[in-house]
Structure 1
Amino acid sequence: MIEQETQRPRRRRWPYVILTAATVTAVGVTAVLVLGQGGDAKADKGNQQTNSKTSKVLRSTLEEHEELSGKLGYSGKFDVTAAGGAGVITWLPKPGDHLGRGDAVYKVNDKPVPLLFGDKPFWRKLESGMDKGADVKILEQNLRALGYTGFTVDDKFDAKTAAAVKKWQKKLGLEQSGAVDPASVVVQPGAFRVSTVDALLGAPAQGKVVSGTGTTRTVTVDVPVEKQSLAQEGAEVVVNLPGGKSTKGKVTSVGSVAEKTEEQNGVGGGKTVIKVEVQLNEPEAVGKLDAAPVQVEFTSRRKEGVLTVPIGALLALSEGGYAVEIVQPDGSGKLVAVELGMFAKGKVEVSGSGLTEGATVKVAGL
């Protein structure tokens, strides 16, 4: 009934009310603002709505989002402990320093203790003629990564390995013994950022020296257990930063253990949450911000390939239901009844007979 075009001789009128974005919520139409009765669709200039514009019926993907609070930080946790060699600590890094392979983590008797990458610490002195082992391979992998050659990366410490160690020790200003003592190096899984310095200058080289985090910028979100379906590993999210900027990220870790958050200002009990970690696609977007509060948008609902129009294109019919006004090739208008689906970011999913992708619809101007 709605789809037929009104012709001037018949002057049939379809009463309707124009909807605007302000009158529609994300979950449906809640109220309307009466702007006037619609005349025939092919109206003359005197009856045209001078504040209307047009838009296309598009096939789009709609998403609804839920925003949760998060905190900027860095991935991972690193603890560096001195292996108990003789001497005192004479130099320490500063919080915020980034330490990579070969960098001095601290100094003992004014000699650097460099960082090597590996999955386990050295537990014995590494020297020529010793038994094969995974620790030898870790040392050789690091020597090769630091640019030293002339040996085979395997689990055997031979004279060629010792020669490479001597070259490395010379560059560090150490005694060129060709052997590596566990206390003379720090072995960690990778590069890290110093967060706290635990040791004191002049203290014996033993015990905890520094704590740190990884160098990858991340956001940690406490997701209430009842909303854990929002956080799927690999899912794309939007991170809204202080100051109005935003950047994209990806969920890289979803906790499996529920935790109780602390009370806020001593009032009320904490809530049960799971820890979710988000890695930023463009870490440089956050600049020097650290431990800053952010808002993370998770996709709560998604529909692909649906026909959409701006919310302002909807007309609430006095007889019930909704329509859009299609602009015909000759400039005339035709009201087409539509069924409403999902609402998201100023658009609404529509369906109905006579509605096609690419059609032009009138949109109420604001």
Structure 2
Amino acid sequence: MLVVVVAVAAAGTGAWAITRQDPAAPKVSGSPVAVTWVTVGRGDIVARMPLGGTLGYDGSFTIVSQLPPGVITSVPAPGAVIKRGRRLFAVGAASTVLLYGRTPAYRAFALGMTDGADVKQLESNLAALGMEPGTVDRHFSAYTAAAVRRWQKARGLPYASRTGRLEAGEVIFLPGAVRVTQVHSPAGSLAGPGAQVLVVSSTRKVVRVSLTTDRRSQVHVGDRVSVSLYGSSHTYDGRIRSIGKVATTPPQQQQGPPGSEGPATIPLTISLVKPGKELAQLDQAPVNVDVISQRRRNVLTVPVTALLAGSNGGYQVAVLDGTARRLVQVVPGLYDDQSGTVEVTGIEEGAKVEVPVS
């Protein structure tokens, strides 16, 4: 079901309004119930599809050790955020450090190595860390080695370890800063090459929705959405980033008859524009999601309660004409179930329409 929200920007305030009740309007005879009058407003009308989602972090990466076998001496706590140049974990006295990039670190870095994209990534990170590697390119030069030595000194490595060389496993390239979600191997455990140590995610907030397949045609990548916590009136803007193509069906309900499993769903991922402080520390929190599936601008709206059934079908509204009550035929458009308003044509902006007093 589509839920329609009508928004009219109030001049000079940025507030939202739909119609304006006029308590000074004259009382008009001819209505069997207590009524008041509201002024027809003009503004945007937006159709929204309400969904439930889960707030979390984007992506998931499993970090494995490529350091020599030994005892894990340091791991971060779950929830810790690791940025460029910071240690992910340590085995014995050797550390694995996070650098940014999309090409995996698959070999040692040293003078004489062949050129490659991984070298360019390393030099780009050294430049970002202020280590002055010279020209950032695919070639590991003497300038690169000098920058590595400066970085090793800045990290507090002993003089004998400032070699200008990085052994395999000393750095890991990931797209950006990460947040630790799980520790596979705690401090004190043994770890050899290939051992899983951490599971991390990005630091970007996203909302995930399990969308039933019958609604797939109603959403599109790039659609705007608004997100809110349950019980909160504050909303956050977002956009649909991806829509899954593989549907999954939940398992059959326990002790239920055959075919009692839930409907098939596809994953929907929503990126938030500005998560704000309210969402910053939350993970796996349920949220309300409204997908903005349709928007019409500068249309006229009236309360739904202003609509009256016409004698020949259709709808009409009672309009205040001086001190008289006059019926006017209107054509309703999109409805807003939440605010109780409807888009209409066939009436003039600024007209006063009759609505019952609630």
Fold-level match, TM-score > 0.5?
yes
Shift in alpha-carbon separation, 1:112–1:148, aligned structure 2, 3 A:
same
Where 1:83 maps in the other structure, the secondary structure is: coil
**1:197 Cα deviation from its structure 2 partner:** 0.7
Equivalent in the alignment of 1:306: 299
**1:223 Cα deviation from its structure 2 partner:** 0.7
Identity across the alignment (%): 37
- Residue 248 in 1 paired to residue 241 in 2? no
In the alignment, the residues of structure 1 paired with residue 27 and residue 155 of structure 2 have an alpha-carbon distance, to the nearest angstrom, of 88
- Residue 260 in 1 paired to residue 249 in 2? yes
Could you tell me which amino acid in structure 1 is paired with residue 241 of structure 2? T
Counterpart contact for 1:230–1:299, Cα < 8 Å? no
Equivalent in the alignment of 1:76: 59
Equivalent in the alignment of 1:349: 343
Where 2:216 maps in the other structure, the secondary structure is: helix
Could you tell me which amino acid in structure 2 is paired with residue 341 of structure 1? G
- Residue 277 in 1 paired to residue 269 in 2? yes
In the alignment, the residues of structure 1 paired with residue 331 and residue 126 of structure 2 have an alpha-carbon distance, to the nearest angstrom, of 68
- Residue 133 in 1 paired to residue 116 in 2? yes
Shift in alpha-carbon separation, 1:265–1:278, aligned structure 2, 3 A:
farther
Q: When the two structures are aligned, how many residues end up with a matched partner? A: 325
Where 1:260 maps in the other structure, the secondary structure is: coil
- Equivalence map 1:220-231=2 (5 Å): 220-231=208-219
**1:57 Cα deviation from its structure 2 partner:** 2.2
Counterpart contact for 1:198–1:211, Cα < 8 Å? yes
Shift in alpha-carbon separation, 1:47–1:186, aligned structure 2, 3 A:
same
Could you tell me which amino acid in structure 2 is paired with residue 323 of structure 1? Q
In the alignment, the residues of structure 1 paired with residue 203 and residue 26 of structure 2 have an alpha-carbon distance, to the nearest angstrom, of 65
**1:86 Cα deviation from its structure 2 partner:** 4.3
Q: TM-score with structure 2 length normalisation?
A: 0.81
Counterpart contact for 1:112–1:172, Cα < 8 Å? no
**1:292 Cα deviation from its structure 2 partner:** 2.0
Could you tell me which amino acid in structure 2 is paired with residue 322 of structure 1? Y
**1:198 Cα deviation from its structure 2 partner:** 0.8
**1:26 Cα deviation from its structure 2 partner:** 7.5
Where 2:111 maps in the other structure, the secondary structure is: coil
Q: 137, 144, 152: which one pairs with 1:169?
A: 152
Deviation string, structure 1 residues 286-318 (Cα, Å, up to 9, x no partner): 242211222322245544443321123223456
Shift in alpha-carbon separation, 1:243–1:230, aligned structure 2, 3 A:
same
* Aligned-residue CA RMSD (Å): 2.8
In the alignment, the residues of structure 2 paired with residue 192 and residue 186 of structure 1 have an alpha-carbon distance, to the nearest angstrom, of 12
Uncovered stretches (5+) of structure 1, i.e. residues with no partner: 1-24, 28-41
**1:226 Cα deviation from its structure 2 partner:** 1.1
Where 1:137 maps in the other structure, the secondary structure is: helix
Greater than 6 Å deviation, 4+ residue runs? 42-50
In the alignment, the residues of structure 1 paired with residue 34 and residue 154 of structure 2 have an alpha-carbon distance, to the nearest angstrom, of 76
Equivalent in the alignment of 2:21: none
Uncovered stretches (5+) of structure 2, i.e. residues with no partner: 5-24
Deviation string, structure 1 residues 312-338 (Cα, Å, up to 9, x no partner): 32234567543223334x454432222
Q: Give the number of the structure whose alpha-carbon radius of gyration is greater.
A: 1
Deviation string, structure 1 residues 165-204 (Cα, Å, up to 9, x no partner): 1110011122100011122112222211111111132313
